Amino acid sequence: MTDPHENALAALASKGRLRALSPAAGKDFTSNDYLALAQSAVLRQAAAEALARGVPLGAGGSRLLRGNHPEHEALEEEAASFFGSETALYFPTGFAANAAIAATLPRRGDLIIYDSLMHASFRDGLEPSRIQAVEAPHNDVNAMDRVITGWRGAGGKGRIWIAVETLYSMDGDRAPLAALVALAARHDAMLVLDEAHATGVYGDQGRGLLNQTMGAEYEGAPNIISLHTCGKGLGAAGALVCLPRLYRDFLVNRGRAFIYSTAPSPLMAAVVRAALKICAGAEQERTQLRMLVRHAEGVMRKLGLPASGSQIQPVIVGQDARAVALAGALQARGHDVRAIRPPTVPEGTARLRIALTLHVTPEDLDALFADLAAEMAQA
């Protein structure tokens, strides 16, 4: 009898969707280290200083047992101040944070509406047997409005939760935040904003797209919860959920992903504290990244490729096998570009996800797109 796991892997391979781990090689066009902080001397120094003052590497237990450390609490206090929220809660990963929000905060009788391109971490937190969850077409605020109106008309009495990413990780486009804020206000709804790919890159001092779009006065709104991952633009690890104190207390008491996980490394919490300070003063780096984005878009337009307007530039290929072949060819030429295939993206939209970071120069971009044009012409 063939092992069903073997059959499943064989099926993935036949579709060109079998995943494998591979090391970083060549110029970085795939990481989310947008400001090039992950290997920076300043964060290395912050880690060394924290070790020197006795901050431990491991927490030794969950936050509710002995794992709660002053570095966690200091980070959460500083993050709340930085992002303008009432409180913050630090999670080991963005995945755990998103899943905890979805699984814990909406209550029986509530309605969740989430964008069709919302991250898998949020979807995995949904419990269909307990909460009614509706997937809305991408960036379609009118569709969300119709769902809410219909649900209320049918007798829905609970709270409404609207969940979106502010900058979408595979398409690089932005959520219509002004319209979403207005929608949430109109229906007395909670608005959950995943700022993962915007944190550090957009807004005053890198505070995200809500700040850039709506201004600082909306950051602490009682109906807005924002998630800021620390492993992308901030160059560290973990995630900060910024939210009203009531919901923080509820996550601490009922969020299984928080309660039953070993606390994040206190050393990493200290590094994230340093990253927030660096982020606040990194306007030159953000300006440099914006220049790279504009340069890439100019080259892409010359090649007839649509540009996203952000540091995430997808090149839609369509067929899974072709995307894999193109990525392999570019890697052989010294460009670390990866193929993204379903189910991460919709069927028929396999792509190259080109991420722009401060690890590359305009000349590196020119070389990448020249080689991409040559490879696409041969395909």
Q: Are 188 and 222 in contact, with CB atoms under 8 Å apart?
A: no
- Count other Cβ atoms within 10 Å, centred on residue 81: 11
**Catalytic hit among 27, 69, 197, 359:** 197
- Count other Cβ atoms within 10 Å, centred on residue 37: 24
**Catalytic hit among 72, 119, 187, 228:** 119
DSSP-derived letter for residue 225 is: E
Q: Report CA torsion sign: 34, 40, 46, 48.
A: positive
**Catalytic hit among 169, 261, 265, 310:** 169
Tell me the sheet residues that pair with 27: 335
**Catalytic hit among 32, 98, 121, 211:** 32
Is 165 a catalytic site residue? yes
Q: If you compute the radius of gyration of the chain from its CA atoms, what whole number of angstroms results?
A: 21
Among candidate residues 361, 340, 364, 363, the one with its CA nearest the CA of residue 350: 340
Separation between Cα atoms, residue 369 and residue 379, nearest integer Å: 15
**Catalytic hit among 72, 187, 232, 335:** 232
Tokens of residue 303, six digits: 């090649």
Cα dihedral angle (320, 325, 326, 332), rounded to 10 degrees? 150
E strand map for the chain: 27-28, 87-91, 111-115, 132-136, 160-165, 190-194, 224-229, 239-243, 312-318, 335-336, 338-340, 350-355
Is 302 a catalytic site residue? no
DSSP-derived letter for residue 24 is: -
Would strands 27-28 and 335-336 be described as parallel, antiparallel, or unpaired?
A: parallel
**Catalytic hit among 33, 71, 171, 194:** 194
Instruction: Say how many Å lie between the first and final Cα of the chain, rounded.
Output: 40
Q: Amino acid identity of 211?
A: N
Is 169 a catalytic site residue? yes
**Catalytic hit among 33, 71, 115, 165:** 165
Is 7 a catalytic site residue? no
Query: Token pair 């040559």 is at which residue?
Result: 374
Among candidate residues 322, 325, 321, 352, the one with its CA nearest the CA of residue 339: 352
Helix (H) or strand (E) holding 151: helix 141-153
Is 232 a catalytic site residue? yes
Active centre residues (catalytic):
32, 119, 165, 169, 194, 197, 232
